[in-house]
Amino acid sequence: MDKKEKEILSLYDKKNGSEVTFSKLESKIEYTPKQSVNKIRRYSYFAIPAVLIASTLIAVFAINANKSSNLLDGKYQITSAINNHDGSHPDGVYVPHWDEMNKLQQYSSVIYDHKAYSLNSTSVKSVPLDYIDTKIGVAEAKGYDIYEQVHHTEEVETYSLKKINSELAIAIKYPGFDGYYCMTNKLFEMNTLGDFIDSLNLEEYVSFGSLSFTYLDKSGELWDIEYKDIDNKEIYSYFFSDKSKPLVLEDSSYATSTLLYGIAINNVAIGAENLALQVFDNGIVETNLLGVGKWWDIGSGNAKKFLDNIERKYQGYAIKY
C-alpha cells in the first residue's frame, strides 16, 4: 500500500483516527445480504439515478472481499472512495428570468393536433437524427414568464419519430435553436405493458445500465451496491416479456413499499437517458421513462428472484463514499 492509499483509507476509521489497513477495513465491513434495507424514497422523476454515483468518486480501491464469511458467495467487491461534494446546498431554488432561459426552459409544452405534449424534463437530451422521421406540421409552443406574468407563444416545427406512435411522442424543432427534442402526450391511454412497449418501440430502442441498491451493513452504515454490464437481453426478457400484464395505478400499498433495487434505463429515440426502472418488495415495477410513472406487477417473489440471479452471475461492487 502506498502513501496515498493509506491517507485515503485512514479517513474511514471513525474510532481513533489511526491508520486503516486493508485487513482492518475488511474486518470492519460485514454484510448480511438477506437483511432488510431501510426504506428509501423513490427517485425524483428528473433526478440522476443512484447508478451514476461512481462518476462522482475521485478514488476507488478494490479490496479482496473473499475473506469475509458474510459476503454472499464472495460476490461483493468492496471499494472505498472520497466524495468531493462539500455538503453545501443553496438556501432556495433560483428561477431564471425569461431572457436567461434557453428554448427548452421557455417553451416546455406545445399544442399539436388538438393534443397537449410536454417535455419530460428541461434537461432532456436531443434526439439523434437517425430517429427523426418526417416533418408532420407546426405547433404552438407555450411558455410563461413568472416575473412579468406574461404568456408567450412561438411556432415550432413538429416531426414524427421512427417507429414511435405520434399520438404519444413527437419531436420539436425550435427556431434558432439546435437539435430536435421529444415531447410526450401525458394523457395517451395505455392499458397494458404491451401498449407501453409497442408505442415506444422498446423492444428495439430500450437499453439498460447498472443495477444498484442501498445496503445497510451490520455496523449500521449504508453502502451503494452496484452491478455493472448486465446483459440487456436478460433485463428486458425478465421485466418486459409479458405484454399482457396490465399497467396498474399507484395506491396506498405502493406508497409504503420498500425499494429493492433500481436499474438505469434509456431510450435514446426520445432523448431519455439514465432514468430509472425501480423494483419494489411488493413486486411493483416502476419507470419514469416518460416523465410520469408507469407501473406493473411482476409479483414479490419474482422481484427478489431477479436480484438473486444477478448476485449469482455477476460481480457486485460495494461502494463507500
- Classify residue 298 as left (phi > 0), alpha (psi -120 to 50) or beta: alpha
State which H helix or E strand residue 72 sits in.
none
Task: State the cell numbers at 207.
Answer: 437499453
Q: How many CB atoms lie within 10 A of CB 167?
A: 12
| pLDDT tens-digit profile, the chain (321 residues) | 444 444 433 433 333 333 333 333 333 333 333 333 333 333 333 333 433 333 333 223 333 333 343 343 344 555 544 344 444 444 457 789 999 999 999 999 999 999 999 998 877 899 999 999 999 999 999 999 999 999 999 999 999 999 999 999 999 999 999 999 999 999 999 999 999 999 999 999 999 999 999 988 777 788 899 999 999 999 999 999 999 999 987 655 566 789 999 999 999 999 999 899 999 999 999 999 988 889 999 999 999 999 999 999 998 888 876
Task: State the cell numbers at 139.
Answer: 405547433
Task: State the cell numbers at 301.
Answer: 417473489
d(CA 101, CA 109): 15
Instruction: Look at residue 117 and give its three-state secondary structure.
Output: strand
Do 39 and 77 touch, CB atoms closer than 8 A?
A: no
Taking each helix axis from N to C terminus, what angle separates 300-313 and 232-240, rounded to the nearest 10 degrees? 170
pLDDT at residue 49 in the model: 42
pLDDT at residue 292 in the model: 84
Closest CA to 272 of 81, 127, 153: 127
| Residue 124 backbone dihedrals phi, psi, to 5 degrees | -60, 150
Do 240 and 197 touch, CB atoms closer than 8 A?
A: yes
The residue assigned the cell 416479456 is 241
Residue type, 292: V
